[in-house]
Structure 1
Amino acid sequence: MKLIIVFLTLLLTGCSPNSLEQYANTTPELKLEQFFDGKLKAYGMVLDRSGNVTRRFNVDLIGSWKGNQGELKEWFEFDDGEKSTRVWYLEKLSDNQYQGHASDVIGTATGTTSGSALYWKYDMNIESQGTTYQLTLDDWMHLIDEKRLFNKTDMTKFGFRVGSLILYIEKR
Structure 2
Amino acid sequence: MTRLLLLLALMLNLASCSNVDVTRYADQQPALSLERFFSQPVKAWGIFQKPGGEVTKRFEVTIVSRREGNNLILDERFLYSDGTRQHRVWTLTPEGPGRWSGRAGDVIGAAQGQIAGNAVHWVYRLNLAVDDSTYEVSMDDWMYLMDEDTLINRTSMSKFGVEVGQVTLFFRRQGTEASQ
The question of a shared fold, defined as TM-score above 0.5 by the shorter chain, is answered with yes
Residue of structure 1 in register with 2:141 after alignment: 139
Displacement of 1:40 after TM fit? Answer: 0.4
Alignment of 1:1-172 (within 5 A): 12=14, 15-172=17-174
Q: Identify if the C-alpha distance between structure 1 residues 86 and 14 changes in structure 2 by more than 3 Å, giving closer, same or farther.
A: closer
CA offset digits 1:109-151 (Å, max 9, x no partner)? 0100000000001101011121100001110000001000000
Change over 3 Å in CA distance of 1:61–1:14 after alignment to 2: closer
2:95 aligns to what SS in structure 1?
Answer: strand
Mapped to 1, the partners of 2:136 and 2:53 lie a distance apart of 20
Sequence identity, in percent? 39
Shift of 1:12: 3.1
Question: Which structure features the higher share of strand residues?
Answer: 1
User: Which secondary structure does the structure 1 equivalent of 2:35 belong to?
Assistant: helix
Q: CA deviation at 1:67?
A: 4.6
Q: By how many angstroms is 1:17 displaced? A: 1.3
Q: Which residues of structure 2 form unaligned runs of 5+? A: 1-9, 175-180
Following the alignment from structure 2 to structure 1, what is the Cα–Cα distance between the partners of residues 100 and 90? 12
Measured on the aligned residues, the alpha-carbon RMSD in Å equals 1.6
CA distance, structure 1, for counterparts of residue 98 and residue 159 of structure 2: 28
Q: Do the aligned residues in 1 keep the contact of 2:15 with 2:161 (CA within 8 Å)?
A: no
